Amino acid sequence: MEHLDDSLAEWALGTLESPDREAAERHLSSCARCRGLADRLAIAREGLSLLDAPVEPPPVVLERLLVRMEGPRRLERFADRLAAFFDLTRERTLALLDALGDASLWMPGPVEGTSLLPVEAGPGREGMLAAILRLDPGARYPLHTHHGRELNLVLEGGFREDGGHEVWPGEELEKTDGSAHGFTALEGPACLCASLLDGATRFDEELASPA
């Protein structure tokens, strides 16, 4: 699928002419990746419209704003929820978000296309394994059974459980003791998921070795 990276700024400004605009609207109705980018551009344009002397910014302005929104603090909107999730202070949570961009802090995950950033959670999560899980687009986490609870909060990207249920940024998923599932990262940005495990998991499928 071809995405709208080269024309989204013009779409957000309303300067994209027909039939390109109609084609963009059709694409946005079915592409979650481009829809997410378009929503962020729309927010940026709305902020610019609140200036004392409103001006019509050129597309490059929105493009630069989008770059900033995709930087290390792009997930700051989830800071309070992530702090509560891991029982951390806001200061420690912001430091954790900054650490997501440090490749040296990540370790290989249990399957190919995954990696883990261990998290030292607060006292309210004592005894639980805490981490940020990253899955490359299309990476599959094989079927496994939970022996204890697992809590998940998606920060970016998303994944689809084998049964078809999709989990998107800002959504949470709790798996109860004895439940089983496998899931696959959706196409688009890599899936970043905060996870807490109270117990253990047993894989019901053979694991592929990480690359």
What is the Cα–Cα distance from 153 to 141, expressed in whole angstroms?
16
| pLDDT, tens only, 54-89 | 566 666 665 555 555 555 567 888 999 999 999 999
pTM confidence score: 0.68
Does residue 20 register a pLDDT over 90?
Answer: no
Q: Where are the chain's structural domains?
A: 8-69, 76-203
Q: Is 142 exposed, middle or buried (0-12, 13-18, 19+ CB in 10 A)?
A: middle
Non-local CB neighbours of 210 within 8 Å, separated by 6+ positions: 108, 109, 110, 111, 112, 113, 114
| pLDDT, tens only, 93-110 | 999 999 998 999 999 998
Predicted local distance difference test score (pLDDT) of residue 65? 57
Predicted local distance difference test score (pLDDT) of residue 1? 47
Predicted local distance difference test score (pLDDT) of residue 12? 74
| pLDDT, tens only, 115-165 | 999 999 999 999 999 999 999 999 999 999 999 999 999 999 999 999 999
Specify the higher pLDDT residue, 123 or 26: 123
Does residue 27 register a pLDDT over 90?
Answer: no
Specify the higher pLDDT residue, 36 or 88: 88
Specify the higher pLDDT residue, 6 or 186: 186
Predicted local distance difference test score (pLDDT) of residue 77? 87
Non-local CB neighbours of 108 within 8 Å, separated by 6+ positions: 114, 115, 116, 210
Which CATH number is associated with domain 76-203? 2.60.120.10
